[in-house]
Structure 1
């Protein structure tokens, strides 16, 4: 039940990332002019030369002194990846369980912040008090060690923030879902369930890692050449499965990819993989007989700089694909990555590998997100008054809201990034749209993704660019023939003729011009004339950069 408060101070939920998209999570909860942040992640892309995108935290940066802390649900990149890039804007304590905190500290070491950031370790099943927010960590299962549901207790009641989750009846690593704790919350009364929507369109259940383990052990045993397994680096249970599959088939398991090595180290430091022998490194692969080798590598999503992509293209310095090798994609295809994955698999096949993926081989991967029957379980356990779907595109969120309503949740509200939602008092409603922007890591600099730099880069990608260097007389007329360079505008072999047409057009334009009063007028005439010529020849209007000498 909703509790009474003295002054009916609103309780807010504000997603700045992860609603209307899968990934890049940043969520805020506010009460009595105090805020907590849940997760701070990135997403990956390859557009415009940018590989890392993150939410713009400008709203909370303006209120930094009112930010009580950053609470992390688990260690996936879309939940912790922006911490090293954005913490200096936030300057707040970070709270997480041991495995997640170890990885965050390693990230902070890379940018020289590990001694500056207050890192507070929360034991599994632990809790913390941040002013009027009492936060309990509840064990759940996912595809990474130590995922947590957060029970955020407020003066109005409890908010259950699921993070990423599933119900694995037989997890191979870590604790099982604490169903009793979730039921207890439901019995006490839950104000709102803020819930993962990733697999809302998937009927039934997501499956168990135990099924994958059995399948991969059998599949690896049937292969004759070197076996490559591409998987998500963070799935430590899958690493353990690969190691067991290697052992049972008489193979030696090696890790190729920096993120895999980091996850292996984090897992062992946190008490996992105790019974698994140390993995070989990429420098050892060529020393192991092909029929006795199993290589675990990153790159299951076709990432261009990943280990598997470099192996497939023959650019990896230590690991090569040979005729008769097998590559098993033990992962799901994340929406948006289809083309990149297809190209990668075609390259592997061309190199002589036999490619095995989940589209035609069952049980080589299970999702880490809840299907519809698991969502029903969560509804029954926590019995929320309000459902707020997150972690999904708009279609996911709307379907999840409808599904929750069908299953007895009276109040559902569909957010988008920037929706300021008043959860209480009264019926939940969107009271404002504060806006939500993205930041991009461009090289080593963080820039607005919608800023002028990226807009200019987008124009260059679509239209090319023309440079014109011209000398003017004292009367601001052309003096000599302008020097012109065209980039990305015409095909090879057409540059010279195109430049001559532009030069003739400029000479003609200045001959006819009557109102050239200064250098600015001349510069604008050169720009407009050049654009008109390119548009008439190519149907494009590229940026024209004019240098006056």
Structure 2
């Protein structure tokens, strides 16, 4: 009996939407050769991760085993699958494989971080195969909301695994390959051991719609608009960007791409040949010299990102361009759960300027890039896997997707981040639990979620900050009174006196009463000063702030 096994371990992306990173391994337990699928990010919010720039999966488990890591595959170019490539590559130091468009984006990310883009190898689509230790890997084209999305067909001694990445069943995605049922029937004909499958839209009850259904409605909207017209969508949705640009061109408008990501996506699409007929564009500088009614802006920031072009236009001007009363702004996108407040804020800002805002509530101007519930069932029936493992979704999505599989006779389970499955047998089996976590990119520094930095930042935001400074002479006697600096706290408390004055008086009273032993002990002195500052604040303003104590001694 073989002791070797086929394992699946999500480090990110299972139990959440974003930060995708999935490990596959084959071999004897603890000695498996490994491949990593995707290296993505998720995005911070002001409530839980204030000031953080990006959030990535903690690769500690994999870094400890990188001598057994044979390859990194990127399924497609969305940030939640590719965004950490430039930040985590040096930790893993393993060749990256992707199709041409995705490889182009990956190289750009590496170069942005001062790394060598040549570590990314371009691979052709199915049936071309790459050998990595016990794995034979092929990238099978999938339709999605970005060009050249690819599922992975992973052949192992324990059987074939299909890792879908993100996908939809679109017969005419406008840019990129359509869904090809004949290809998938060929892939599945000799049996599939496990299907590891996108779960994002499992609760959507109707079959998904095609990207090709949108141009008519968008063209009609732009043609009927007066004033300047602007539209936002995901920059990576190249087909949608082209549809918007073509609608503007048909209406006789000059097209302006606003936002670095938008421009880079079109450049990458053109360089790799996935886009050959994009309408001509004008620069923002040239647009400022043209009649406003002749312009069509296509902007980044469909999710309300504060620094993106859309948000800056809502606040005032972006690169000299301003939206005014009578102009039209279209959200050709779906708001990702959690981003609603930011998007609504922008809509209200546009409304205050008299701009007519059109969103996707009618369903006319956006279609999803993920397979809906009926589409998932159709794909299950096409692949007929022995095992179904849901991924890319919150826990509720994974659970419902597993239920769909079990109803159709497929062995299934819910595997969240850190849960290692053995896929070698007739049913998935949990064999180990791995400590998983998150890495934060904060400015130019990366640190872990347990390092306490974000926690301290949240506590300061919630409670305010007091800095207490005390100077003692060589005999441990106070040189003058302590003084306080406060941040984020009311200046006047219940006593109607200045909070700083009350606090400094209470601290000074303590210092005058403190014995020599206490004044000689920095730790004890700091503890008492912090306690008194917090007690005073609590009695005056009802809050216990964070307190930093600085003790200076004259020696």
Do the structures match in fold with TM over 0.5? yes
Q: Distance in 2 between the 1:492 and 1:39 partners?
A: 53
Paired residues of 2:101 and 2:274 also in contact (CA < 8 A): no
Distance in 1 (CA, whole Å) between partners of 2:317 and 2:542 is 38
Cα distance change on mapping 1:538 and 1:433 into 2, 3 Å: farther
1:390 corresponds to = 391
Note closer, same or farther for the CA distance 1:273–1:425 as it changes in structure 2 (3 Å cut).
closer
Q: Which moved more, 1:463-472 or 1:486-495?
A: 486-495
Once the two structures are overlaid, the 10-residue window that deviates more, 504-513 or 333-342, is: 504-513
Residue in structure 2 matched with residue 534 of structure 1 by the alignment:
537
SS at match of 2:76: coil
Q: Does 1:223 align with 2:222?
A: no
SS, match of residue 440 in structure 2: strand
SS in 2 for 1:373: helix
Point out 4+ residue stretches in structure 1 off by more than 6 angstroms.
492-496
Q: Does 1:412 align with 2:412?
A: yes
Q: Distance in 2 between matches of 1:228 and 1:81?
A: 27
Native 8 Å contact 1:327 1:355 kept in 2: yes
The equivalent of 2:444 in structure 1 is 444
Instruction: Say which is worse superposed, 273-282 or 154-163, in terms of deviation.
Output: 273-282
Give the Cα separation in 1 of the matches to 2:454 and 2:363. Answer: 42
Q: What residue is the counterpart of 1:36 in the other structure?
A: 35
User: Does the 8 Å contact 2:491/2:498 carry over to 1?
Assistant: no
1:525 corresponding residue in structure 2: 528
CA contact (8 A) 1:169 1:208 kept: yes
Offset at 1:311? 1.0
Q: How does 1:161-310 map to 2 (within 5 A)?
A: 161-310=163-312
Aligned residue number for residue 362 of structure 1: 363
Aligned match of 2:123: 122
Tell me, in whole angstroms, the C-alpha distance in 2 between the residues paired with 1:491 and 1:204.
Answer: 57
2:412 and 2:543 mapped to 1: Cα distance? 47
Equivalent pair of 1:459/1:543 in contact (CA under 8 Å): yes
Please name the residue that 2:431 is paired with: 431
Inter-partner Cα distance in structure 2 for 1:321 and 1:44: 28
Equivalent residues, number: 541
Rounded to whole Å, the distance in 1 between the matches of 2:482 and 2:19 is: 48
Name the residue aligned to 1:324.
326
Distance 2:308 2:169 in 1: 30
How much has 1:491 moved relative to structure 2?
4.9
What is the rounded CA distance, in whole Å, between the counterparts of 1:90 and 1:127 in structure 2? Answer: 23
Q: Say which is worse superposed, 176-185 or 33-42, in terms of deviation.
A: 176-185
The separation in 2 between residues aligned to 1:92 and 1:275, in whole angstroms, is 36
Say whether residues 1:8 and 2:9 are aligned partners: no
In the TM superposition, residue 450 of structure 1 has moved relative to its aligned partner by 2.9
CA distance in 1, matches of 2:299, 2:423: 44
The CA distance in 2 between the partners of 1:536 and 1:505, in whole Å, is 12
Is this contact kept in 2: 1:151–1:160, CA < 8 A?
A: yes
Give the distance between the partners of 1:131 and 1:492, measured in 2 at CA.
Answer: 69
Distance 1:493 1:269, change over 3 A: farther
Contact 1:197 1:389 in 2 (8 A): yes
Contact 2:534 2:545 in 1 (8 A): yes
- Other-structure match for 1:107: 109
Separation of aligned partners in 1, 2:489 and 2:478: 24
Retained in 1: the 8 A contact 2:493–2:499?
no
- Cα distance in 2 for partners of 1:98, 1:326 equals 36
Deviation at 1:474, TM superposition (A): 5.5
Q: Deviation per CA, 1:92-131, whole angstroms, max 9, x where unpaired?
A: 001000000111111112122125x522111132321111
The aligned residue for residue 503 of structure 1 is 504
Judge conservation of contact 1:476–1:522 (CA < 8 Å) in 2: no
Q: For residue 508 of structure 1, report the CA deviation from its aligned partner.
A: 3.3
Alignment of 1:147-166 (within 5 A): 147-166=149-168
Alignment map for 1:87-98 (pairs within 5 Å): 87-98=89-100
1:112-163 deviation per Cα after TM superposition (whole angstroms, max 9, x unaligned): 2125x52211113232111111112111100000011111111111111000
Contact 2:491 2:500 in 1 (8 A): no
3-state DSSP class of the match of 2:214? helix
Partner of 1:372: 373
- Which residue matches 2:453? 453
- In 2, the alpha carbon distance for the partners of 1:123 and 1:216 equals 34
CA apart distance, 1:421: 1.3
2:143 alignment partner in structure 1: 141
Q: Give the structure 1 partner of residue 22 of structure 2.
A: 27
How big is the shift at 1:276? 2.5
Look up the match of 1:3. none
What secondary structure sits across from 1:207 in the alignment?
A: coil
2:481 and 2:449 map into 1 onto residues whose CA distance is 39
Give 1:500 deviation, angstroms.
2.0
Q: Which deviations, in whole Å up to 9, do the C-alpha atoms of 1:194-214 show, x marking residues without a partner?
A: 111111110112211111112
For the residue of structure 1 that corresponds to 2:329, the secondary structure is strand
> Given the two structures, how large is their TM-score scaled by the length of structure 1?
0.95
1:449 deviation in Å?
2.9
The answer to whether the 8 A contact 1:254-1:284 is kept is: no
Q: Return the alpha-carbon distance in structure 2 between the equivalents of residues 281 and 210 of structure 1.
A: 28
CA distance in 2, matches of 1:24, 1:259: 19
* Cα distance per residue 1:477-535 (max 9 Å; x no partner): 54432111111122579996212222232233345545626232222211111122222
Q: For 1:493 and 1:182, locate their aligned partners in 2 and report how far apart those are by CA, in whole Å.
A: 70
Paired with 1:261 and 1:127, the residues of 2 have a C-alpha distance of 33
Q: Contact between 2:142 and 2:179, CA under 8 Å: does it hold in 1? A: yes
Residues 1:17 and 2:19 aligned together: no
- For residues 177-230 of structure 1, what are the alpha-carbon distances to aligned partners after superposition, in whole Å with 9 as ceiling and x for unaligned? 121222223321111111111111101122111111121111111101111010
SS of residue paired to 2:322: coil
Uncovered stretches (5+) of structure 1, i.e. residues with no partner = 1-5
Q: Deviations over 1:39-84 (max 9, x none)?
A: 0011122432112111111111011111001011111111111000
Residue in structure 1 matched with residue 546 of structure 2 by the alignment: 543
Matches of 1:522 and 1:477, distance apart in 2: 12
CA distance in structure 1 between the partners assigned to 2:122 and 2:180 by the alignment: 20
Q: CA deviation at 1:427?
A: 3.1
